[in-house]
């Protein structure tokens, strides 16, 4: 594990970048490692605790790096996770102020909302199914406090898994009404398709991603609770967003969700 002073220095750099809207250099250069995930999570936790002390309320968790291609790109063989906050959650059709973001990109994914706690790892697959209250179509607007998205695994983990904002649909769908493994996804920006995929692109099934998250969080002493939102990971490539862009993501039986990035 990296020295505590360097962890704090890295957390401070990310905190300042988020506050100022000016990205910082790679965190790996501060902490001296590009591959130690525990170092990344230690930095992430410092800032998560800061946000909670400042009065922000946690709304759930996100899963990132679910794509094999992205895992290979940043040198890791597993996903990562970050923390979602209530003030970063938007409803379907609500505009997003571009000033809240630094280097936004959009990706479409399945959101799950828990009806039961997941606090006894290891969790069975059926246990995950039982715990999910409903699914929602969602758009995650990821962001990076690292300049030019120059990231490796330590950088993105430290940076709260590159969390930005997220948008969820308004019509809850029970798992009995949709097969998340085969659900189709198409995302368009300003009327042109920019990404497509299916549920299986997310670790074979978004429910597998949820299972990974539940077990991983239990190991770290921060289990999932009823009411938590789980952003399970992208079903297709992400795309850069510019001010004025309108994003629409459709998911077959799961429904449609929209948002627009606007100047204030």
- Band (pLDDT 50/70/90 cuts) for residue 70 is low
Average pLDDT rounded to a whole number, residues 28-37:
94
Burial (CB count within 10 angstroms: exposed 0-12, middle 13-18, buried 19+), residue 74: middle
Q: Look at residue 3 and tell me if it is in a domain.
A: no
Q: Look at residue 27 and tell me if it is in a domain.
A: no
The pLDDT value recorded for residue 65 is 85
Q: What is the CA 176 to chain-centroid distance, rounded?
A: 25
CATH number, domain containing residue 213: 3.90.850.10
Residue 194's domain comprises: 58-262
Q: Look at residue 82 and tell me if it is in a domain.
A: yes
Mean pLDDT of the chain: 95
The pLDDT value recorded for residue 264 is 77
Q: Look at residue 25 and tell me if it is in a domain.
A: no
Q: How many domains does the chain have?
A: 1
Q: Look at residue 26 and tell me if it is in a domain.
A: no
Closest listed residue to residue 198, CA positions, set 181, 210, 211: 181
Listed range (69-73, 170-174, 236-240) with the worst mean pLDDT? 69-73
* For residue 135, pLDDT beyond 70: yes
Q: Look at residue 6 and tell me if it is in a domain.
A: no
For residues 95 and 244, what is the distance between their CA atoms, to the nearest angstrom?
Answer: 10
Q: Look at residue 37 and tell me if it is in a domain.
A: no
Q: Look at residue 96 and tell me if it is in a domain.
A: yes
Average pLDDT rounded to a whole number, residues 68-80:
72
Please give the model's pTM, rounded to 2 decimal places. 0.95
- The answer to whether 250 and 186 are in contact (CB under 8 A) is yes
Question: Three-state DSSP class for 30?
Answer: helix
């Amino acid at each position: 594990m990296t020295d505590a002073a360097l962890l704090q220095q890295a957390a401070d750099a990310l905190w300042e970048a988020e506050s100022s809207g000016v990205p910082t250099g790679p965190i790996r250069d501060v902490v001296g490692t590009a591959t130690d995930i525990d170092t990344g999570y230690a930095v992430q936790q410092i800032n998560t605790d800061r946000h909670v002390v400042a009065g922000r309320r946690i709304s759930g968790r996100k899963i990132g790096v679910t794509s094999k291609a992205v895992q290979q790109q940043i040198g890791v063989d597993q996903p990562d996770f970050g923390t979602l906050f209530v003030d970063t959650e938007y409803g379907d059709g609500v505009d997003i102020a571009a000033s809240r973001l630094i280097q936004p990109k959009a990706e479409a994914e399945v959101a799950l909302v828990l009806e039961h706690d997941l606090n006894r790892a290891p969790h069975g697959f059926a246990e995950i199914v039982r715990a999910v209250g409903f699914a929602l179509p969602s758009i995650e607007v990821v962001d990076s406090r690292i300049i030019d998205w120059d990231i490796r695994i330590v950088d993105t983990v430290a940076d709260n898994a590159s969390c930005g904002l997220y948008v969820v649909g308004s019509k809850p769908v029970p798992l009995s009404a949709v097969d998340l493994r085969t659900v189709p996804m198409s995302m368009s920006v300003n009327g042109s398709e920019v990404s497509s995929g299916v549920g299986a692109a997310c670790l074979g099934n978004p429910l597998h991603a949820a299972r990974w998250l539940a077990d991983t969080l239990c190991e770290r002493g921060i289990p999932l609770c009823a009411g938590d939102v789980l952003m399970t990971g992208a079903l297709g490539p992400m795309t850069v967003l510019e001010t004025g862009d309108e994003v629409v993501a459709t998911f077959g039986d799961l429904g449609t969700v929209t948002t627009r990035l606007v100047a204030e």
